[in-house]
Amino acid sequence: MIPASRSRLFGVTLVVMALLGTLGFRLWDVQVKNHRSYIALANEDRIRDVVEPSVRGQIFSDNGTPLVTDSASLVIAVNMAVVDQEPDETAELDRLAGLLGISDKTMQLKVRLCTVGVSQPCWQGSPYQPIPVAEHVSDRLALQVLESKKEFPGVTADVQPQVYYQQPIATDMAQILGYLQPITAQEVQQLHIPVTGFSGVDLVGQAGLEAQYDSELRGKAGIDEVAVNAAGQVTNTIKDTKAVDGDDLVTSINVQVQEATENALRNAILQAQAEGNQDATSGAAVVETTTGRIIAMASYPTYDPSIWTNGISESEFKQLFGTGDGEPILERATQGVYPPGSTWKVTTLTAGIKYGDSLYADYDCPASLDVGGHVFNNDFGNGGEMSLHEALVLSCDTVFYDMGYQIWQTDGRQYDTVTSPNFPMQFEQKIEMDWGFGKPTGVDLPGENPGQIPNREWLYYFWKDNAHTGQDWCKYGQQNGDEVQQIEWDDCYYGNVWEPGQAIIASIGQGYIGVTPLQLANGYAALANGGKLYSPRIGEELISPTGKITKITPPVIGHLPASSTTLAYIRSALQGVITSGTAAGTFAGFPLNQVCVAGKTGTAQVFGKNSTSNFASFAPCNDPKYVVVMMIPDAGYGADASGPAVRQIWDAIYGLEGHKAALPGGALPGLPSMNAAGQIVPSASKSPAGKTR
C-alpha cells in the first residue's frame, strides 16, 4: 500500500508532466509549425500607416466667384475610444462642457453615435474617429485644453480645415451645393477611403454638387507605410504615396442671375400669401441656356448650408427635413413635381400634328366639350373658330381637349381596359415622353424625380396599388353611398380603364400629369433651339491642382418629335402670348423692342387646393439664348404669380426697366483660369451668349 504523501506526489507529477507536454506542443506549434505565419504577423505589427490628408477642392461660379471654400479653424474634438476607458467617462465630458459653455446634455448629444433609433444630433462618422464638439475656438481655449492633459486625456485641439460657405449666395443655392457629413464606417469600406482623424477632412458629399462630384472634389489621401521599433520610433519608410488634392469645380451658375432668381421667386410667394393664397409656401425657378447650361436654379424655402458645419441640432434637423417648415432641404427644381397646366399645350399640339391634324386649319373653340355626359369647360367661354396659333395665344382649352379626345378614339382602344402593364403606350403619351417628360433629365444632381406621365403601364399599377390596398377602393367604396364612396366603388371595378376623360384632361397638363420645373425648362429649351434635347449640366469644368482642365459638356439625349416647321410655328405663337395673349397684361410696358420674350402661361387646377401658377418663357424670340421657368403651387393664375416674377428675372439678366444687367448684352462671362500660384482667378473676357463654353 502506497502512503498518502507518495500518492499525492504521484498525482502532482502527472499534472506537471501534462502541463509540460502541453507547453512543449505549443512551443513546437509556434516555433516550427506556424513559424512563418507568426514571423509575418510580427513584421506586420511593426508596420504603420501614416495618412496624409488631401485638400478638398472648392466650388466656384461661372466667372470664378468662390461658392464653397476651405478655411483653417481651431477644432476641439473628443476621442471616445479614450474617454470610454476612463473610470468615469461622463466626468471628463462634463468638465469639457463647462469649459465650452454648453450643457452636459448638449455634450452627450454631440458625441453619441448615429444608430438605429437615434435622431440628430449625433455623430455619423466612424466610432474610432475623434468627434468635433467645437469649431472656431479661441487660441486661449485650445491652449487650455492642450495644457490640461490629465484633466482631458481624450480631448484634442488641432488646426483643421473647415468648409466655408460664401454668403448670401450659398443660401440662395443651398440645395444645389448640397452639404458634407462625416464619413461613416460603411462609406469607408465602400469608397476605400482612409480615415485621417481630422473632422474637416473626413467628410463626404451627401447631397447636391458635393455628392455628385464627391470623388473629384475629395482627391486622394496620401499613405506613408513606415516601419517602427518596439519603442514606436520610425526606422524605415517602406512606401510613400503622396496625397493628391481634389479638383476645383467651376459651375455654370451666375451669381447675379441666381440671386435675382431666388429673390423673384421668394417675393412672388410672399405676394401670393399677401393676396390670400396662404398655402403658397414653396416653389422653384430655373434659368437655362438653350444649349443645356443651368445659369440659375432657385428653390424656396431655402436655408443656410453652414448649419451643417458646426453640428446640427435636433430642432434644426427637423426644420430642414420637416414638411411643417416647408422641407427646405428639398431641391424643388429637380425633386418637386407639379401639374404643368397650359404650358403643356405645346406637347399636345405636336402630338395632334404628328397624328394627322393640319397645322394651318381652323379649329372650333366652344365654351365646353361634352363627352359621355361629362362636361369639360373652356376657361373663357366660346371663342369661335380659330387657328392653332390663336389657340395657343388665347389658351383655348377646348381646342386641345378635342385634340386629345380625337387621338384617344383611334389609339388602340382594345388596350384601354388595362389588364397588363405590358400593354403598348398611348400615342400622345409617347410624344410627351419624347419631349423629355416622365423620365430623368440626367442633370448632374443626385435624387432627381422623373415626374409622372399617366400611361397604360402607370394606370395598371396605380389601380393595383389602390383597389385592394393603399386607398382600398373595394373596401370603402359603395355604389349608393356618398359622392366619395361612389367614386371609390367605380374606381374599384373600372379604375384600370383608360377613360376618354383622362385623355382629355391630360391634354391641357392636368389630372395625374406631373413634371419638375427643370423638365419643363429643358423641354422649352429644346423648343427654343429647334428641337435638340439636352441633358442639362451645372458643372462646367474641373480644374486639377496642376491646372489640367476637364470640360463638362451637356450631352444631347434626344430630339423633339416635331418638324422644324411645327416648332417655328409654336415659337411664333408663344411670342403672341406675350404681346396679345394671356400674358399681355403681365408684360405690359416691357421693352420688347430691346429684348423680345416669348412664353406660355399655365394655371393647373388641383383638387382641394389653389391652382399651381406656372410660366415658361425664352428670349430673344428669333435667336433664343435663355429659358426662364417658374412653378409655384397654390399661388393662382400663371399670369398673376409666376409671370411677373419671370419678368423680373428677364429684367435682371438683360438690365431692363431700371435693373443692372447681370449678363450685359446677354453675354456669359468668360470661364476662370488658374494662375501660377495655383489660385482660381476670374476671367474678364466674355463668351458669346447661348454658345457652348
Q: What is the pLDDT of residues 38-87, one digit of tens each?
A: 555 555 546 665 566 678 899 999 999 999 988 767 888 888 878 877 77
Task: Check pLDDT > 70 for residue 349.
Answer: yes
- Band the pLDDT of 650: cuts 50, 70, 90: very high
With a CB cutoff of 8 Å and minimum separation 6, the contacts of 425 are 433, 455, 456, 457
For residue 360, the SS3 value is coil
Cell numbers for 114, please give them.
448615429
Q: Is-contact 213 25, C-beta < 8 A? A: no
**87-117, pLDDT tens digit by residue?**
777 888 888 888 888 888 888 888 888 777 7
- pLDDT for res 13: 72
Give percent of the chain above pLDDT 70: 84
> What's the average model confidence in pLDDT over 277-302?
96
- pLDDT for res 1: 44
- Band the pLDDT of 27: cuts 50, 70, 90: low
Task: Check pLDDT > 80 for residue 631.
Answer: yes
- pLDDT for res 455: 94
With a CB cutoff of 8 Å and minimum separation 6, the contacts of 474 are 467, 468, 492
- pLDDT for res 682: 80
- Band the pLDDT of 578: cuts 50, 70, 90: very high
- pLDDT for res 101: 87
Residue with the bigger pLDDT between 19 and 285: it is 285
Cell numbers for 581, please give them.
395673349
Task: Check pLDDT > 80 for residue 685.
Answer: no
Q: Which domains does the chain have, with CATH numbers?
A: 77-163 (no CATH), 255-334+518-674 (3.40.710.10), 341-513 (3.40.710)
> What's the average model confidence in pLDDT over 509-537?
97
> What's the average model confidence in pLDDT over 151-160?
81
- pLDDT for res 234: 56
- Band the pLDDT of 691: cuts 50, 70, 90: low
Lowest mean pLDDT among 20-29, 61-70, 464-473: 20-29
- Please give the DSSP secondary-structure letter assigned to residue 307: G
Distance CA 546, CA 568 (A): 47
- pLDDT for res 393: 97
- pLDDT for res 688: 58
- pLDDT for res 50: 58
- Band the pLDDT of 228: cuts 50, 70, 90: low
Distinct helix (H) and strand (E) counts, the chain:
25, 27
Neighbouring-strand partners of residue 156: 77
Task: Check pLDDT > 90 for residue 191.
Answer: no
> What's the average model confidence in pLDDT over 18-39?
64
Lowest mean pLDDT among 154-163, 290-299, 606-615: 154-163
> What's the average model confidence in pLDDT over 547-560?
96
With a CB cutoff of 8 Å and minimum separation 6, the contacts of 62 are 250, 251, 252, 253, 254, 295, 540, 668, 669, 671
Lowest mean pLDDT among 45-49, 303-307, 338-342, 392-396: 45-49
Task: Check pLDDT > 70 for residue 237.
Answer: no
The torsion angles phi and psi of 128, rounded to 5 degrees, stand at -95, 5
> What's the average model confidence in pLDDT over 613-640?
94
Q: Is-contact 110 77, C-beta < 8 A? A: no
Lowest mean pLDDT among 266-275, 324-333, 624-633: 324-333
The torsion angles phi and psi of 444, rounded to 5 degrees, stand at -80, 60
Lowest mean pLDDT among 128-132, 520-524, 535-539: 128-132
- Band the pLDDT of 271: cuts 50, 70, 90: very high
Residue with the bigger pLDDT between 567 and 226: it is 567
> What's the average model confidence in pLDDT over 219-232?
66
Cell numbers for 673, please give them.
483660369
**397-419, pLDDT tens digit by residue?**
999 999 999 999 999 999 999 99
Task: Check pLDDT > 90 for residue 177.
Answer: yes
Mean pLDDT value across the chain: 87
Please give the full DSSP string across 127-169, using - where no structure is assigned.
TTSPEEEE-S--HHHHHHHHT-TTT-TTEEEEEEEEEEE-TTH
- Band the pLDDT of 534: cuts 50, 70, 90: very high
Please give the full DSSP string across 229-290, using - where no structure is assigned.
-TTS-EEEEEEEE--BPPPEEEES--HHHHHHHHHHHHHHHHHHHHTT-TT---EEEEEEET
> What's the average model confidence in pLDDT over 510-523?
96
Task: Check pLDDT > 70 for residue 353.
Answer: yes
- Band the pLDDT of 6: cuts 50, 70, 90: low
